[in-house]
Copies of this chain bind each other. A is one copy, B any other.
Amino acid sequence: MREARVSREDGGWTASPVGLHRVLAPTGVLPQAAERLDASPELWPGEVRIRVERLNLDAASFRQLSDQYGDAIKAEVLAIIESRGKMHNPVTGSGGMLVGVVDEVTPDSPLGLKPGDRVATLVSLTLTPLRITDGLARWDGRSEQVPAEGHAILFARSIAAVLPGDLPVPLALSVMDVCGAPALTRRVVKPGSAVAVIGAAGKSGSLSLAAARRAGAARLVGVVPHAREAEALTSAGLADEVVIADARDPVALAAAVGAPVDVTVVCVDVPGCEHGSILATRDGGTVIFFSMATSFSAAALGAEGLAADVTMLVGNGYTPGHAALALDLFRTSAGVRALFEGRHA
Protein backbone atom coordinates (compact mmCIF):
# COMPACT_ATOMS: atom_id res chain seq x y z
CA MET A 1 0.00 0.00 0.00
CA ARG A 2 1.23 3.46 -0.84
CA GLU A 3 1.62 6.06 1.84
CA ALA A 4 -1.00 8.75 1.74
CA ARG A 5 0.35 11.92 0.25
CA VAL A 6 -0.07 15.03 2.32
CA SER A 7 -3.31 16.95 2.10
CA ARG A 8 -4.05 19.48 -0.58
CA GLU A 9 -3.88 22.44 1.77
CA ASP A 10 -0.31 21.41 2.54
CA GLY A 11 0.55 21.72 -1.11
CA GLY A 12 0.09 18.10 -2.13
CA TRP A 13 -2.54 15.35 -2.36
CA THR A 14 -4.13 12.77 -0.19
CA ALA A 15 -6.05 9.71 -1.34
CA SER A 16 -9.53 10.93 -2.20
CA PRO A 17 -12.66 8.88 -1.45
CA VAL A 18 -13.89 9.61 -4.97
CA GLY A 19 -10.57 8.81 -6.63
CA LEU A 20 -9.20 12.24 -7.51
CA HIS A 21 -5.69 10.93 -6.79
CA ARG A 22 -6.01 8.52 -9.74
CA VAL A 23 -6.82 11.22 -12.29
CA LEU A 24 -3.89 11.83 -14.65
CA ALA A 25 -5.52 14.21 -17.15
CA PRO A 26 -7.01 16.70 -17.05
CA THR A 27 -6.10 17.47 -13.46
CA GLY A 28 -8.76 18.33 -10.91
CA VAL A 29 -11.71 16.57 -12.55
CA LEU A 30 -13.61 13.55 -11.24
CA PRO A 31 -12.54 10.13 -12.55
CA GLN A 32 -15.62 9.84 -14.77
CA ALA A 33 -14.80 13.13 -16.51
CA ALA A 34 -11.12 12.26 -16.84
CA GLU A 35 -9.45 11.55 -20.13
CA ARG A 36 -6.94 9.26 -18.44
CA LEU A 37 -6.69 7.44 -15.10
CA ASP A 38 -3.76 5.88 -13.29
CA ALA A 39 -4.57 2.15 -13.27
CA SER A 40 -1.43 0.98 -11.52
CA PRO A 41 -2.02 -1.95 -9.14
CA GLU A 42 -0.49 -0.44 -5.96
CA LEU A 43 -3.29 0.64 -3.64
CA TRP A 44 -3.82 4.01 -1.99
CA PRO A 45 -5.43 4.13 1.46
CA GLY A 46 -9.13 3.30 1.26
CA GLU A 47 -8.88 1.40 -2.05
CA VAL A 48 -9.65 -2.19 -3.03
CA ARG A 49 -8.06 -4.14 -5.90
CA ILE A 50 -10.13 -6.63 -7.89
CA ARG A 51 -8.78 -9.48 -10.03
CA VAL A 52 -10.94 -9.14 -13.14
CA GLU A 53 -12.79 -12.14 -14.57
CA ARG A 54 -15.31 -10.55 -16.92
CA LEU A 55 -16.31 -7.16 -18.27
CA ASN A 56 -19.93 -6.45 -19.14
CA LEU A 57 -19.82 -3.68 -21.71
CA ASP A 58 -22.73 -1.26 -21.74
CA ALA A 59 -25.09 -2.37 -24.52
CA ALA A 60 -24.99 0.96 -26.35
CA SER A 61 -21.18 1.02 -26.19
CA PHE A 62 -20.86 -2.54 -27.52
CA ARG A 63 -23.25 -1.80 -30.37
CA GLN A 64 -21.34 1.33 -31.39
CA LEU A 65 -17.95 -0.39 -31.26
CA SER A 66 -19.25 -3.42 -33.11
CA ASP A 67 -20.83 -1.27 -35.84
CA GLN A 68 -17.73 0.87 -36.29
CA TYR A 69 -14.95 -1.68 -35.90
CA GLY A 70 -16.49 -5.08 -36.76
CA ASP A 71 -13.89 -7.78 -36.29
CA ALA A 72 -11.35 -5.19 -35.09
CA ILE A 73 -13.45 -4.53 -31.97
CA LYS A 74 -11.04 -6.36 -29.67
CA ALA A 75 -8.08 -4.21 -30.64
CA GLU A 76 -10.18 -1.10 -30.17
CA VAL A 77 -11.39 -2.08 -26.69
CA LEU A 78 -7.81 -2.85 -25.69
CA ALA A 79 -6.66 0.47 -27.10
CA ILE A 80 -9.30 2.38 -25.14
CA ILE A 81 -8.41 0.66 -21.88
CA GLU A 82 -4.68 1.06 -22.47
CA SER A 83 -4.87 4.75 -23.36
CA ARG A 84 -7.53 5.85 -20.88
CA GLY A 85 -6.81 3.54 -17.94
CA LYS A 86 -10.54 2.68 -17.97
CA MET A 87 -13.14 1.22 -20.35
CA HIS A 88 -14.82 4.50 -21.26
CA ASN A 89 -16.20 4.54 -24.80
CA PRO A 90 -15.35 8.01 -26.12
CA VAL A 91 -18.28 8.01 -28.56
CA THR A 92 -21.16 6.80 -26.38
CA GLY A 93 -19.65 8.07 -23.14
CA SER A 94 -20.69 4.84 -21.47
CA GLY A 95 -18.84 1.97 -19.82
CA GLY A 96 -20.41 -1.07 -18.21
CA MET A 97 -19.56 -3.13 -15.15
CA LEU A 98 -17.20 -5.96 -14.22
CA VAL A 99 -17.06 -9.16 -12.24
CA GLY A 100 -13.99 -10.31 -10.38
CA VAL A 101 -12.50 -11.54 -7.14
CA VAL A 102 -11.27 -9.25 -4.38
CA ASP A 103 -7.50 -9.39 -4.32
CA GLU A 104 -6.43 -6.84 -1.71
CA VAL A 105 -8.34 -4.57 0.67
CA THR A 106 -6.72 -1.63 2.45
CA PRO A 107 -7.58 -1.18 6.13
CA ASP A 108 -9.33 2.13 5.44
CA SER A 109 -11.80 0.70 2.88
CA PRO A 110 -15.42 1.16 4.03
CA LEU A 111 -16.87 -1.25 1.44
CA GLY A 112 -16.97 -4.30 3.72
CA LEU A 113 -15.19 -6.59 1.23
CA LYS A 114 -12.61 -9.28 1.97
CA PRO A 115 -10.06 -11.04 -0.24
CA GLY A 116 -11.65 -13.93 -2.10
CA ASP A 117 -15.12 -12.36 -2.37
CA ARG A 118 -16.53 -12.65 -5.88
CA VAL A 119 -18.05 -9.26 -6.61
CA ALA A 120 -19.73 -7.20 -9.28
CA THR A 121 -18.89 -3.50 -9.43
CA LEU A 122 -22.02 -1.39 -9.49
CA VAL A 123 -20.27 1.84 -10.40
CA SER A 124 -19.59 2.47 -14.04
CA LEU A 125 -16.47 1.30 -15.83
CA THR A 126 -16.18 4.92 -16.99
CA LEU A 127 -14.66 5.79 -13.61
CA THR A 128 -12.97 2.51 -12.67
CA PRO A 129 -9.17 2.23 -13.11
CA LEU A 130 -8.62 -0.90 -15.20
CA ARG A 131 -5.69 -2.78 -16.71
CA ILE A 132 -6.02 -5.85 -18.95
CA THR A 133 -3.18 -8.40 -19.04
CA ASP A 134 -4.43 -11.20 -21.32
CA GLY A 135 -5.10 -9.23 -24.49
CA LEU A 136 -8.76 -10.33 -24.14
CA ALA A 137 -7.63 -13.61 -25.71
CA ARG A 138 -10.81 -15.50 -24.72
CA TRP A 139 -13.24 -12.93 -26.17
CA ASP A 140 -14.68 -13.52 -29.63
CA GLY A 141 -15.86 -9.91 -29.95
CA ARG A 142 -19.46 -10.95 -30.59
CA SER A 143 -21.01 -10.25 -27.17
CA GLU A 144 -20.86 -7.51 -24.58
CA GLN A 145 -19.78 -10.22 -22.12
CA VAL A 146 -15.99 -10.05 -22.23
CA PRO A 147 -13.90 -12.72 -20.45
CA ALA A 148 -10.80 -10.87 -19.27
CA GLU A 149 -7.76 -11.03 -17.00
CA GLY A 150 -6.28 -8.03 -15.26
CA HIS A 151 -7.09 -5.80 -12.33
CA ALA A 152 -9.42 -2.97 -11.41
CA ILE A 153 -9.43 -0.47 -8.54
CA LEU A 154 -12.34 0.54 -6.32
CA PHE A 155 -12.15 3.82 -4.42
CA ALA A 156 -13.34 4.27 -0.83
CA ARG A 157 -16.62 5.72 -2.07
CA SER A 158 -17.71 3.05 -4.50
CA ILE A 159 -20.25 0.27 -4.82
CA ALA A 160 -19.56 -3.44 -5.19
CA ALA A 161 -21.91 -6.29 -4.41
CA VAL A 162 -20.84 -9.77 -3.42
CA LEU A 163 -22.31 -12.22 -5.92
CA PRO A 164 -24.78 -14.62 -4.37
CA GLY A 165 -23.85 -18.31 -4.37
CA ASP A 166 -27.37 -19.46 -5.25
CA LEU A 167 -27.79 -17.75 -8.63
CA PRO A 168 -25.96 -18.07 -11.96
CA VAL A 169 -23.65 -15.06 -12.40
CA PRO A 170 -25.36 -13.68 -15.54
CA LEU A 171 -28.74 -13.78 -13.82
CA ALA A 172 -27.41 -12.12 -10.65
CA LEU A 173 -25.75 -9.41 -12.76
CA SER A 174 -28.94 -8.90 -14.67
CA VAL A 175 -30.80 -8.32 -11.39
CA MET A 176 -28.14 -6.06 -9.89
CA ASP A 177 -27.88 -4.05 -13.09
CA VAL A 178 -31.30 -2.48 -12.38
CA CYS A 179 -31.31 -2.58 -8.59
CA GLY A 180 -31.61 1.19 -8.19
CA ALA A 181 -35.20 1.24 -9.41
CA PRO A 182 -36.80 -1.10 -6.85
CA ALA A 183 -34.80 0.48 -4.02
CA LEU A 184 -36.02 4.00 -4.75
CA THR A 185 -39.54 2.73 -5.45
CA ARG A 186 -39.70 1.07 -2.06
CA ARG A 187 -38.54 4.29 -0.43
CA VAL A 188 -41.14 6.46 -2.17
CA VAL A 189 -44.23 4.24 -2.10
CA LYS A 190 -46.31 4.46 1.10
CA PRO A 191 -48.76 1.85 2.39
CA GLY A 192 -52.06 2.26 0.55
CA SER A 193 -50.52 4.09 -2.45
CA ALA A 194 -51.76 3.64 -5.98
CA VAL A 195 -48.74 3.01 -8.22
CA ALA A 196 -48.27 2.78 -11.98
CA VAL A 197 -45.15 1.24 -13.47
CA ILE A 198 -44.44 2.11 -17.10
CA GLY A 199 -42.52 -0.68 -18.80
CA ALA A 200 -43.74 -3.08 -16.15
CA ALA A 201 -42.74 -6.36 -17.80
CA GLY A 202 -39.08 -5.37 -18.09
CA LYS A 203 -36.33 -6.01 -15.59
CA SER A 204 -36.46 -2.77 -13.63
CA GLY A 205 -40.23 -2.59 -14.11
CA SER A 206 -41.00 -6.01 -12.67
CA LEU A 207 -38.67 -5.46 -9.72
CA SER A 208 -40.29 -2.07 -9.11
CA LEU A 209 -43.73 -3.66 -9.06
CA ALA A 210 -42.52 -6.20 -6.50
CA ALA A 211 -40.91 -3.42 -4.44
CA ALA A 212 -44.10 -1.34 -4.52
CA ARG A 213 -46.10 -4.37 -3.38
CA ARG A 214 -43.68 -4.91 -0.52
CA ALA A 215 -44.01 -1.22 0.44
CA GLY A 216 -47.75 -1.77 0.81
CA ALA A 217 -49.16 -0.37 -2.44
CA ALA A 218 -52.92 -0.83 -2.59
CA ARG A 219 -53.33 -0.56 -6.37
CA LEU A 220 -50.64 -1.60 -8.82
CA VAL A 221 -51.04 -0.77 -12.49
CA GLY A 222 -48.55 -2.32 -14.91
CA VAL A 223 -48.29 -0.56 -18.29
CA VAL A 224 -46.83 -2.51 -21.21
CA PRO A 225 -46.55 -1.70 -24.93
CA HIS A 226 -48.21 -4.76 -26.49
CA ALA A 227 -50.24 -7.91 -25.98
CA ARG A 228 -47.30 -10.31 -25.67
CA GLU A 229 -45.87 -8.41 -22.68
CA ALA A 230 -49.36 -8.02 -21.25
CA GLU A 231 -49.76 -11.80 -21.25
CA ALA A 232 -46.39 -12.34 -19.62
CA LEU A 233 -47.08 -9.73 -16.94
CA THR A 234 -50.56 -11.08 -16.27
CA SER A 235 -49.15 -14.58 -15.82
CA ALA A 236 -46.49 -13.20 -13.48
CA GLY A 237 -49.24 -11.84 -11.22
CA LEU A 238 -47.24 -8.79 -10.13
CA ALA A 239 -49.84 -6.12 -10.96
CA ASP A 240 -53.48 -5.67 -10.03
CA GLU A 241 -54.20 -4.24 -13.47
CA VAL A 242 -52.26 -4.82 -16.68
CA VAL A 243 -52.91 -2.25 -19.41
CA ILE A 244 -51.51 -1.77 -22.89
CA ALA A 245 -50.53 1.74 -23.97
CA ASP A 246 -47.91 3.62 -25.97
CA ALA A 247 -46.15 5.52 -23.19
CA ARG A 248 -45.07 8.21 -25.67
CA ASP A 249 -48.72 9.16 -26.16
CA PRO A 250 -49.64 11.18 -23.04
CA VAL A 251 -53.36 11.07 -23.66
CA ALA A 252 -53.41 7.33 -24.29
CA LEU A 253 -51.17 6.61 -21.30
CA ALA A 254 -53.27 8.63 -18.87
CA ALA A 255 -56.45 7.03 -20.20
CA ALA A 256 -54.97 3.54 -19.80
CA VAL A 257 -53.88 4.18 -16.21
CA GLY A 258 -57.32 5.56 -15.33
CA ALA A 259 -57.70 7.29 -11.95
CA PRO A 260 -54.45 9.23 -11.42
CA VAL A 261 -51.98 7.40 -9.19
CA ASP A 262 -49.86 8.52 -6.24
CA VAL A 263 -46.60 7.28 -7.73
CA THR A 264 -45.59 6.63 -11.34
CA VAL A 265 -42.35 4.77 -12.02
CA VAL A 266 -40.96 5.21 -15.54
CA CYS A 267 -38.85 2.21 -16.52
CA VAL A 268 -39.29 2.13 -20.28
CA ASP A 269 -36.21 3.20 -22.19
CA VAL A 270 -37.80 5.22 -24.98
CA PRO A 271 -37.83 9.01 -25.28
CA GLY A 272 -41.01 11.01 -24.87
CA CYS A 273 -42.65 9.41 -21.83
CA GLU A 274 -42.42 12.52 -19.60
CA HIS A 275 -45.78 14.14 -20.29
CA GLY A 276 -47.78 10.94 -20.10
CA SER A 277 -46.27 9.93 -16.78
CA ILE A 278 -46.99 13.41 -15.37
CA LEU A 279 -50.55 13.30 -16.65
CA ALA A 280 -51.09 9.85 -15.10
CA THR A 281 -50.03 11.10 -11.64
CA ARG A 282 -52.33 12.90 -9.20
CA ASP A 283 -51.62 16.38 -7.89
CA GLY A 284 -49.28 15.98 -4.94
CA GLY A 285 -47.98 12.68 -6.33
CA THR A 286 -44.51 11.62 -7.43
CA VAL A 287 -42.98 10.56 -10.74
CA ILE A 288 -39.75 8.57 -10.57
CA PHE A 289 -37.85 8.72 -13.85
CA PHE A 290 -35.61 5.68 -14.22
CA SER A 291 -35.35 5.72 -17.98
CA MET A 292 -32.05 7.11 -19.21
CA ALA A 293 -33.99 8.40 -22.20
CA THR A 294 -35.69 10.97 -19.96
CA SER A 295 -35.38 14.58 -21.08
CA PHE A 296 -34.90 16.97 -18.17
CA SER A 297 -36.45 19.90 -19.99
CA ALA A 298 -39.42 17.87 -21.26
CA ALA A 299 -40.17 16.86 -17.67
CA ALA A 300 -39.72 20.33 -16.18
CA LEU A 301 -41.63 22.18 -18.90
CA GLY A 302 -44.23 19.43 -19.16
CA ALA A 303 -45.22 19.66 -15.51
CA GLU A 304 -45.41 23.43 -15.73
CA GLY A 305 -47.44 23.33 -18.93
CA LEU A 306 -49.89 20.89 -17.36
CA ALA A 307 -50.03 22.92 -14.12
CA ALA A 308 -49.17 19.64 -12.43
CA ASP A 309 -48.04 19.83 -8.82
CA VAL A 310 -46.02 16.62 -8.95
CA THR A 311 -42.66 15.79 -7.40
CA MET A 312 -40.30 14.54 -10.11
CA LEU A 313 -37.31 12.44 -9.10
CA VAL A 314 -34.20 11.73 -11.12
CA GLY A 315 -33.78 7.99 -10.62
CA ASN A 316 -30.56 7.64 -8.65
CA GLY A 317 -28.89 4.32 -9.40
CA TYR A 318 -27.57 4.19 -5.85
CA THR A 319 -29.53 3.64 -2.68
CA PRO A 320 -27.82 1.87 0.21
CA GLY A 321 -28.72 -1.83 0.23
CA HIS A 322 -30.09 -1.72 -3.28
CA ALA A 323 -28.41 -4.89 -4.56
CA ALA A 324 -29.48 -6.96 -1.56
CA LEU A 325 -33.08 -5.74 -1.87
CA ALA A 326 -33.24 -6.54 -5.58
CA LEU A 327 -31.82 -10.03 -5.08
CA ASP A 328 -34.26 -10.63 -2.25
CA LEU A 329 -37.22 -9.52 -4.37
CA PHE A 330 -35.98 -11.77 -7.15
CA ARG A 331 -35.66 -14.78 -4.86
CA THR A 332 -39.02 -14.31 -3.17
CA SER A 333 -41.13 -13.37 -6.20
CA ALA A 334 -41.90 -16.18 -8.62
CA GLY A 335 -43.38 -13.60 -10.98
CA VAL A 336 -40.19 -11.55 -11.17
CA ARG A 337 -38.15 -14.71 -11.70
CA ALA A 338 -40.45 -15.85 -14.50
CA LEU A 339 -40.12 -12.51 -16.34
CA PHE A 340 -36.32 -12.45 -15.98
CA GLU A 341 -35.97 -16.05 -17.07
CA GLY A 342 -38.19 -15.31 -20.07
CA ARG A 343 -35.71 -12.62 -21.09
CA HIS A 344 -32.69 -14.83 -20.53
CA ALA A 345 -34.21 -17.78 -22.39
Contacts and interface: CB of A to CB of B under 8 A. Distances in A.
A306 interface: yes
Interface stretch (A25-33, A190-198, A215-223): A25-33
A135 to B, nearest CB: 28
A306 B252 contact: no
Nearest to A188: B311
A304 B318 contact: yes
Given A289-B296, A297-B292, A318-B307, A32 B313 contact: no
A161 to B, nearest CB: 12
A266 B306 CA distance: 23
Given A30-B275, A250-B29, A316 B304 contact: yes
A72 interface: no
Contacts of A124: 301, 304-305
Contacts of A300: 292, 314-317
A73 interface: no
Contact of A305 (B127, B250, B251, B289): B127
Interface residues of A, number: 51
A295 interface: yes
Contact of A157 (B33, B306, B319): B306
A301 B292 CA distance: 9
A290 to B, nearest CB: 8
A32 B302 contact: yes
A123 interface: yes
13 contacts: A33-B275, A158-B307, A292-B297, A296-B296, A300-B314, A301-B317, A303-B318, A304-B317, A307-B318, A308-B318, A309-B316, A313-B314, A314-B314
The list of the 10 closest CB pairs from A to B, nearest first, reads: A304-B317, A312-B314, A296-B296, A303-B316, A294-B296, A304-B318, A299-B314, A157-B307, A159-B307, A32-B305
